[in-house]
Amino acid sequence: MPCKESTRNSCASDSGKKTVMPPTYFFVLLLLSIPTYFVLRVIPLPFNFIGLVFVAFGIVMNLWADAKFKERQTTISPFGTPTALIAERPFSISRNPMYVGMASILLGAAICIGSLIAFACPIIFVIVIQAKFLPIEEKNLGATFANQYQTYKRKVRQWI
């Protein structure tokens, strides 16, 4: 389902149907995790500040990967047709460093919040991305870069 019109938060296909994009899932889950601070707290102060390490890692991964997309002038949309196969860092660590970054931020937020329920958010995010976006991205990359992508896929893990 290629995008006719795309932003970072939504994608309109030729049929006009809008698809929610990964950053929207990320921000909704992040916002939903905040009120869980008051329920089933399992990580006490000051240990919950360890979560800031995960948040910082996630921010760095996202900014780094975004800079690579811009540098190589290829689409960031999961439904777009890529014009470049990026295989250097951070894409040599994970085939999906932006999703790893978003999941890391959600995990860090869950640790900071300290609630057992908040840990559902990064799990839900990974499941949604794995089911809804990665199959399309993998198909587009395979169709565009064929053998080069298959070699890259064998060398680099999908997540971490």
pLDDT tens profile 65-103: 999 989 988 888 888 888 888 888 898 899 899 999 999
Q: 20 φ, ψ to 5°? A: -75, 135
- In 3D space, the residue among 96, 107, 98 whose CA is nearest the CA of residue 54 turns out to be 107
Tens digits of residue pLDDT in 100-150: 999 999 999 999 999 999 999 999 999 999 999 999 989 988 888 888 888
Q: Which two tokens stand for residue 35?
A: 């009120």
Query: Is the sign of the CA dihedral 100, 92, 52, 111 positive or negative?
Result: positive
Query: Span 18-22, mean pLDDT?
Result: 87
What mean pLDDT do residues 27-32 have? Answer: 95
**pLDDT value for 133:** 93
- The answer on pLDDT for 3 being more than 50 is yes
Question: Angle formed by the axes of helices 97-113 and 51-72, to 10°?
Answer: 160
The residue with greater pLDDT, 107 or 45, is 107
- Residue 16 has a pLDDT of 61
Whether cis (ω within 30° of 0) applies to the bond prior to 90 is: yes
What's the number of CA atoms in the CB half-sphere (13 Å) around residue 43? Answer: 21
- Residue 85 CA to residue 134 CA, distance in Å, equals 15
Q: Are 42 and 115 in contact (CB under 8 A)?
A: yes
Residue 8 has pLDDT above 60, yes or no: no
Query: Looking at residues 41-53, what average pLDDT do you find?
Result: 90
User: Between residues 62 and 87, which one has the greater pLDDT?
Assistant: 62
Question: Can you tell me the distance from the alpha carbon of 18 to that of 1, in angstroms, rounded to the nearest whole number?
Answer: 11
Three-class DSSP category at 147: helix
Residue 26 has pLDDT above 50, yes or no: yes
Does pLDDT of 27 surpass 70? Answer: yes
